[in-house]
Structure 1
Amino acid sequence: MNDFIFHNPDKVYFGKDQLRRLPEELAAFGTKVLMVYGGGSIKRSGLYDEMRGLLEGAGMQMFELAGVEPNPRHTTANRGAALCKENGIDVVLAVGGGSAIDCAKGVAAAAKTEDGDVWPLVAGGVWVTDALPVVAVLTNAATGSEMDAWGVITNWETNEKIGLGGSALIPRAAFENPELSYTLPPYQTACGAFDIFNHVLDNYYLAGEATFDVVMEMQEAVMRAVVKWAPVALAEPENYEARANLMWASSLALNTILDAGTVHACACHAMEHELSAYYDITHGHGLAILTPRWLEYILNEQTAPAIYRLGTAVFGVEEGLAPEEGARKAIECVSGFAFNTLGLESTLSHFGIDDAHFEDMAKHACADGEIPGLRSLSVDDVVNIFKMCR
């Protein structure tokens, strides 16, 4: 294992009756609130009216940035930053899933710059230490943005989807009521579940020699929870236990508790960000298509034991097999979870994606080098994995 520092100052209110505490959390920063959200789902569910009532009842002024895209654009974040500058916003309130929270982080960071443009921060890899405070109300278990220091912003003009990070971007408070995810469409539930699963698998689990046994077992527990409860949530959308397990798994997967002492490879995320940047597909679905193909591609004598452990610990693959045989069974389980249990389409051709941009996408993903990991990936490797996904 590697040396590490763990520090996460996010305060989480989890459960059914926690939103009543929202005004007091916001009041710590001021009275002018910019609410950032996506489409009309929070209005159809009644959450929008509830939020407005809470804020106005506490004497706060609410401003709005609506229409955040599933892969939030830098131009949308810039519109929000302009609203902050024009109206003297004190705190940015994200209401929704990861896209709304990511966009809110971009808004909060850009609002503190002279020109209000988030893209130089993103493209320059700037670690943001000065931003407006962000508070999140989570409605979808998926990205973990409600408890981490990162957001992902897309520049549609340049086909780039890049992470924006900084200590100032960790939400000051997050409100997680599993009931708010009851009305999610099955497709979004499925994509979110695989996103959580892959966050653990891609970011931390296959860490080579840099492993830490107690943390690995926590990682496996989070993945097992997703595998167990995602099909329940799909079959029974208002099953509180299922929604609660998925929502807390989302936060645990990326709040840095699971990366203690491990290596970050993130090969699937690097590749999927290219799919989203070029084709605007749902992130979790892109990860589902890529992950079993990536595992198959990196499988060899050296990687087989780690992949086999995934199968036994998370999916119940029998022990005592030859490592490569066990690893192949593990990959079959990952594929079955994505495409059978969750019901996600298994190919890029479903989205009309061909190999026209694979070379450019692979170069972007590798950032003029290789994607490091249990088995490092060159540009040619990434192109081959994309082709396996067609």
Structure 2
Amino acid sequence: MLNFKYYSPTSIIFGKESTAGLGAQLSPEIKTVMFHYGGGSIKQSGLYVQVFSILKEKGVKVIELGGVEPNPKLSLVKEGITLCRENQVDLILAVGGGSVIDSAKAISVGVKYDGEVWDFFMGKAQPQSCVPLGVILTLPATGSETSPNTVVTNEEGLLKRGMKSDLIRPVFAILSPELTLTLPEHQTFAGVMDILSHVFERYFTTTGHVDVTDYMCEGVMKATIENAYKLRQNPDDYDARAEIMLAGTIAHNGILGVGRLEDWASHRIAHEITALYGTTHGVTLAVIFPAWMKYVSEEQPEKFVQFAKRVFDVSEADFRSTAEIANEGIRRFEAFLTEMGLPKSFKEAGLPSDQLDLMTEKASIFGALGGYRKLEVSDIKAIYELAL
């Protein structure tokens, strides 16, 4: 196990009718709030009116900025930065899923920075301060409600890039599973894949003596998969929605990665698909992860054997080699994706295959990817080809 420092300051308010607790999270020092959200879903559900009523009751000035799209855009982030500066915003309240939260995080660090906020995403600068951020989560997937991460797309060059800083961990996160009961099926299960992907990026490691976090990762994976099947049978199952929502938070708040080398190659590879074609993040991860698993497990099957046995209950007695056990685990994961209605390839996702060289070039712009196995340019291209 590696040495580590862990920090997670977000106050989590979880459960039925937890949105009503928003007012209690607003200190008297907060005079102006920027209410940041996406499209019309929160207005249709009544959440918009509920939030606005609570803010009005608290006597705070509200600055609105809606219009966040999936895979949030840099142009809207810049608009938010300007609004916050002009109105001396004390708190940004992000109401929505990961895209809204990521957009709000980028705004929060950009307000206090004299240069271009994109500098943070290109590794040219590190944030030193930010506007505090609060969250009401409506879609469990990215884990952005407690994570130190944000991902934004720059329309110029179609570059999807991320940044990481503990400064952008929200001050509070309100998680009400009942808000997810009206989610469309494709968002629910793309979110499930997103959650699993965050565990995968930490679980598949070459670091030894990490039994505690291995079992934690496996527990989150098994619980997510089991409750995804329950939601497939009954989308109105509140308890299953609650389990998925909690899993999404735990998967990406950093606790599962302490003391171990993480990977993150698959996310970088998948980002280039999303940047070019605007595909849902969870969908691109469903396309890339099986290909990544097959590619890297050929040389390093050990962790995949453990994955097969502990997560998908593969019996060692039924197979002759470690490679066969590893492959059976990957096959069962692919079967799960199919049962959740998720694509496992470019073809199933309806994606073109004529931009592999461009995606490979963009994915490798900062050098080799990955921690489980270092992926050079030729490896990245091979994974895209396996995913076709």
Category of TM-score, reference length = shorter chain: over 0.9
- The Cα of 1:347 is off from its aligned counterpart by 2.5
Counterparts of 1:246 and 1:380 in 2: how far apart (Å)?
Answer: 36
The partner residue of 2:290 within 292, 296, 304 is 292
- Corresponding residue for residue 236 of structure 1: 234
Q: Is the 8 A contact 2:101 2:144 kept in 1?
A: yes
- The Cα of 1:350 is off from its aligned counterpart by 4.7
For 2:45, give the aligned amino acid: S
The partner residue of 2:300 within 303, 314, 336 is 303
- Corresponding residue for residue 387 of structure 1: 385
For 1:312, give the aligned amino acid: K
- Corresponding residue for residue 217 of structure 1: 215
Partner SS for 2:261 = coil
Q: Is the 8 A contact 1:125 1:164 kept in 2?
A: no
- Corresponding residue for residue 311 of structure 2: 314
Q: Does 1:256 align with 2:254?
A: yes
- The Cα of 1:344 is off from its aligned counterpart by 1.2
Deviation digits for residues 82-112 of structure 1, max 9, x if unmatched? Answer: 1111111110000011000000001111111
Q: Does 1:27 align with 2:27?
A: yes
Give 5+ residue unaligned stretches, structure 1. none
- Corresponding residue for residue 50 of structure 1: 50
- Corresponding residue for residue 328 of structure 2: 329
Partner SS for 2:134 = strand
- Corresponding residue for residue 278 of structure 1: 276
Q: Does 1:12 align with 2:21?
A: no
For 1:156, give the aligned amino acid: E
For 1:167, give the aligned amino acid: D
For 1:375, give the aligned amino acid: R
- Corresponding residue for residue 92 of structure 1: 92
For 1:52, give the aligned amino acid: F
Q: Is the 8 A contact 2:98 2:141 kept in 1?
A: yes
**Displacement over 4 Å in runs of 4+:** none
- Corresponding residue for residue 141 of structure 1: 140
Partner SS for 1:147 = coil
Moved more, 135-144 or 349-358: 349-358
Q: Is the 8 A contact 2:290 2:344 kept in 1?
A: no
Partner SS for 1:145 = coil
Deviation digits for residues 158-215 of structure 1, max 9, x if unmatched? Answer: 12111122121000000000001111100000100000001111x2111113451011
Partner SS for 1:105 = helix
- Corresponding residue for residue 38 of structure 2: 38
- The Cα of 1:231 is off from its aligned counterpart by 2.2
- The Cα of 1:327 is off from its aligned counterpart by 0.5
Alignment TM-score, normalising by the size of structure 2: 0.96
- The Cα of 1:352 is off from its aligned counterpart by 4.7
Partner SS for 1:175 = strand
Deviation digits for residues 316-345 of structure 1, max 9, x if unmatched? Answer: 111343211110100101111112x21112
For 1:299, give the aligned amino acid: S
- Corresponding residue for residue 114 of structure 1: 114
- The Cα of 1:230 is off from its aligned counterpart by 1.1
For 1:71, give the aligned amino acid: N
Partner SS for 1:53 = helix
- The Cα of 1:29 is off from its aligned counterpart by 4.7
- The Cα of 1:293 is off from its aligned counterpart by 1.1
Give 5+ residue unaligned stretches, structure 2. none
After superposition, the CA RMSD in angstroms is: 1.5
- Corresponding residue for residue 204 of structure 2: 206
Q: 1:334 to 1:211 in 2, by over 3 A?
A: farther
Q: 1:175 to 1:80 in 2, by over 3 A?
A: same
For 2:190, give the aligned amino acid: C
Partner SS for 1:114 = coil
Q: Is the 8 A contact 1:149 1:168 kept in 2?
A: yes
Counterparts of 1:188 and 1:299 in 2: how far apart (Å)?
Answer: 29
Counterparts of 1:256 and 1:155 in 2: how far apart (Å)?
Answer: 26
For 1:105, give the aligned amino acid: K
- The Cα of 1:20 is off from its aligned counterpart by 2.5
Counterparts of 2:29 and 2:263 in 1: how far apart (Å)?
Answer: 36
Q: Is the 8 A contact 1:359 1:379 kept in 2?
A: no
Counterparts of 2:213 and 2:387 in 1: how far apart (Å)?
Answer: 31
Moved more, 93-102 or 305-314: 305-314
Q: Does 1:168 align with 2:173?
A: no
Counterparts of 1:40 and 1:222 in 2: how far apart (Å)?
Answer: 32
- The Cα of 1:57 is off from its aligned counterpart by 1.1
Counterparts of 2:161 and 2:20 in 1: how far apart (Å)?
Answer: 35
- The Cα of 1:369 is off from its aligned counterpart by 2.5
Moved more, 27-36 or 137-146: 27-36
Partner SS for 2:63 = strand
